[in-house]
């Protein structure tokens, strides 16, 4: 295990993972506010009472307080202007920015696997767009389960004629399903994004490590910023932006290090002759 850790640390520096994670953080931040415009317009057009309040409450549990406040202010400023035009502009901007970030992920995964991407630029862009849409679908499913999971369980139980036990079981299972959606999203990226594809079974270790690391980093980061307030004196009013960028950066690191773990496992398998 120690030798594996040393090799992983060496690959992280060789493949310039820290710099690539910073680039990914920029792309995420670039795509965030168009996505917020799209989300704001969509929520404003949906006849679901209290949906925005639930979204903001769940967001505040994930992001640091200052970053959540920044996102909340942005949503509040644009909520009154929800329209079809705003919806279309938000979709285009969010999709373009997010797919640019996905292209950067594809380059990083190719570097991790020591391969050159022979695909044409339009093919790579199309793959990036489709991957972005696929991840958006998994994210949407996870959000629906988090926000409406209990209500969905009650509706299914009432429609089928099941009792309270089914509702409790559904409530208990919704979080494993959310985690499964996150894991499937990571596996999709690791499988489709690189020019050379490997079976999903070979990609599971890196995906699991990335997911667990991201959950731990997000929780630890939130605990840290809730107890250490020195960044207020350093960054002032832009502290929320700095914290959001830092969270994006740490999230990008977990994604790329997961890819490096998969690459190391693949190298070891090739050395043993168990992978062609």
Q: What is the torsional sign of CA 186, 187, 193, 194?
A: positive
Per-residue burial over 85-94, b = 16 or more CB atoms within 10 Å of its CB, e = otherwise: ebbeebbebb
| pLDDT at 217 exceeding the cut of 60 | yes
Q: Which residue has the higher pLDDT, 181 or 84?
A: 181
The angle at the Cα of 19, spanning 137 to 215, to the nearest 5 degrees, equals 45
Cα 67 to Cα 5: distance, rounded to the nearest angstrom = 33
Q: Above 80 in pLDDT, residue 249? A: yes
**pTM, entire model:** 0.77
Region 133-141: what's the mean pLDDT? 73
């Amino acid at each position: 295990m120690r030798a594996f850790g040393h090799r992983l640390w060496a690959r992280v520096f060789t493949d310039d993972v820290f710099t690539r994670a910073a680039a990914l953080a920029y792309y995420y931040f670039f795509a965030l506010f168009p996505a917020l415009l799209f989300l704001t317009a969509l929520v404003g057009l949906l006849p679901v009472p209290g949906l925005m309040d639930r979204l903001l409450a769940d967001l505040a549990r994930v992001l640091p307080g200052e970053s959540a406040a920044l996102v909340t202010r942005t949503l509040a400023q644009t909520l009154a202007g929800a329209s079809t035009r705003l919806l279309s502009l938000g979709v285009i901007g969010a999709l373009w920015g997010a797919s640019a970030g996905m292209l950067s992920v594809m380059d990083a995964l190719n570097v991790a696997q020591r391969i050159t991407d022979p695909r044409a630029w339009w093919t790579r862009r199309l793959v990036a767009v489709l991957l972005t849409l696929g991840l958006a679908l998994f994210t949407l499913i996870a959000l629906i389960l988090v926000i409406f999971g209990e209500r969905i369980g009650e509706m299914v139980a009432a429609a089928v004629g099941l009792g309270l036990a089914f509702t409790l079981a559904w409530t208990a299972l919704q979080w494993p399903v959310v985690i499964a959606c996150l894991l499937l999203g990571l596996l999709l990226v690791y499988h489709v994004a690189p020019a050379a594809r490997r079976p999903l079974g070979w990609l599971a270790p890196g995906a699991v490590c990335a997911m667990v690391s991201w959950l731990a980093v997000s929780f630890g980061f939130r605990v840290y910023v809730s107890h250490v307030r020195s960044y207020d004196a350093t960054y002032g009013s832009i502290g929320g932006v700095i914290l959001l960028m830092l969270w994006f950066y740490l999230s990008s690191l977990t994604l790329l290090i997961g890819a490096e773990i998969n690459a190391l496992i693949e190298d070891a398998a090739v050395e043993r002759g168990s992978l062609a």
